[in-house]
Amino acid sequence: MKKIVLATLVIMLGVAVYAATAGIKEDIADKVSQNFENNGVKNPNVEVKVVKKLERSDVYLVKLKVTGSNLKREIENYVLSDGNYIYPEAIDMVSGKKILETYKTEISKVNFTAEELEKMVFTKGTKGAENTIVVADDFECPYCRKAHFFMNDILKDIPEENYAFYVMNYPLQMHKQAKVFARIHYAAAEMGYDLMDEIFRYVGKGDYKNLNDEDIIDYFAKKTENEKQFKKIVASKEAEKNLEWNINKGKSLNISGTPAIFVNGKRIDGFNRQKISEYLNQLK
């Protein structure tokens, strides 16, 4: 008899949870749809997936997917909502963790394969190390430059055997000569040189803006023992294909700005000092 009662309670609880979840999905979908329609979106369609209910609250973590006749692309986002309001964030009062930010970090983790890493530029550390750092960089991006030297300072205190550092060259369209610097970086690495610091310092001075690509390549070629070989690699089909692969990989990760930093797959968008320091110091 007790087993029957217990089973009945479990079923009733399951139905109640399902009904509550269905209700919150409908509430959020209806209101978000109205919001988009009020803002000029034609025929908005909102899909809501409930990820979980926050403990000791009526707030849910949900995934929204929105399409519309005049929307150029599908919109996807994770939000916190109780069906009436959307909350920008919720902080656990005991741990201090940001619920939405923590969840987004976990689901956006990227597992780079060994084959993918070989197509990037290995910069420092030890290949095959337990920890991996991947940075999508644009040498003309001032925030990439700041992040680069900021990370350098932190990594000085971390044993090189603890990590492998790779660069995914990702020149943005707005920067006209970023592709040239990416190819220079690739060519230098192919010849065993690490010119990353020098490239960033050179770009930081800004003198290159009055130079053509050949002049810039000449400048860095002189820093090698074989200028002819360096220039040959910069102009090679291999360098072109490698850069194309890196750009496509960045696009597949929806990288829209630089830097994008991945520490053991955990993503940091932009020059976020706090997160960079937190994630890198975990590698000690």
- For the residues 112-132, what does the mean pLDDT come to? 97
Q: pLDDT grade, residue 204 (50/70/90)?
A: very high
In this predicted structure, what is the pLDDT of residue 1? 53
> Does residue 109 register a pLDDT over 80?
yes
Could you tell me the domains of the chain? Answer: 2-107 (no CATH), 114-281 (3.40.30.10)
In this predicted structure, what is the pLDDT of residue 104? 79
Q: How far is CA 125 from CA 72, 133, 135, 245, 247, in A?
A: 42, 10, 14, 23, 23
3-state secondary structure (DSSP) of residue 64: strand
Cβ partners under 8 Å of residue 116, min gap 6: 249
| Chain segment 26-70, per-residue pLDDT in tens | 999 999 999 999 999 999 999 999 998 998 899 999 999 999 999
> Does residue 222 register a pLDDT over 80?
yes
Q: How far is CA 53 from CA 10, 48, 49, 102, 276, in A?
A: 18, 14, 12, 15, 30
pLDDT greater at residue 8 or residue 45: 45
Alpha-carbon distance of 214 to 195, in angstroms, equals 17
Q: What is the mean pLDDT of the chain?
A: 91
| Chain segment 237-255, per-residue pLDDT in tens | 999 999 999 999 999 998 9
Residue 49 amino acid letter:
K
